[in-house]
Structure 1
Amino acid sequence: MTAYINAMSRYFDFSGRSTRAQFWYYHLILLSLAVVGVIVDGAITEGQPLVSALIIIAHYIPSLAITVRRLHDADKRGWLVLLCLIPGIGIIAFIVYGCLASTGPNRFGQGDHVASRSTGVTPVADSQPQAASNIERIEKLASLHASGAISDDEFQRMKSEVLTLGTR
């Protein structure tokens, strides 16, 4: 629900970044709202898509904005969102964009999820004790690596990111 609220609060914000989780949770809630709208339309408007149309129209710009931010998170230009508007190709582009991996810090910003993109480990705020948090993060990364959830390359890259954050 926070992903949805975040996307709606950034209604016209086409800058910055959004994680895969934010992108997919927002669209899951939007799909749920659309289904409810179709049900309401069937019950009170005799098949006219009034409520569902209002839901979709109200979410059109935030959907474009979160898709652009998702592209930024993968270090791609936001203009690629226009591919989503092409019939047939659009749904494929939408799914691909939603599945693109985050790139870490890039030209669109630092990102608030550098280490968390596949691990659930979040970056440390400057006010927290760095050493203890970094040790915990590396231990979590090591357990994910041991379980096969992340590859050797991902483990080494994420470990160096955690260590780099700790030296700041």
Structure 2
Amino acid sequence: MDDYPLLNLFWTMLWIFLWVMWFFLLFRVITDLFRDHEMGGWAKAGWLVLVLLLPYLGVLVYLIVRGRSMAERDRKQMADQEKAFKDYVREAAGTPGAAPSKVDELHKLSDLKDKGALTQEEFDRAKEKLLA
């Protein structure tokens, strides 16, 4: 350990960290290329060749040129996944529609009135509002 100073160890760890982060970024760019449905096959092939043959420059140019649309595709994918999850939960819970039916709402109001949570007047107003 005497022949490898602490500062050299620090620099080695920094370079390894930067190398790993660059690989992460490279895979992220390649994933984004194949996720983009608006770009044609030849354009994807061109970007892929640029990113693989000139890796550092290719990734940097890709982020400069297409970075904003990359973030928009991420947001759209997250929104689609959230919608699919909510639809799955609704389907699994047995409520396929987004809003419960009027019959279900009337039943809930009746249960609340029976439990004493609603007075007769509150029940009548809520029922009129629901049926209007």
Q: Which structure shows the bigger proportion of residues in helix conformation? A: 2
Q: Which has the larger radius of gyration?
A: 2
Query: Which of the pair has the greater relative contact order for Cα pairs under 8 Å at 6+ separation?
Result: 1
Q: TM-score range with shorter-chain normalisation?
A: 0.3 to 0.5
What TM-score do the two structures reach when normalised by structure 1? 0.30
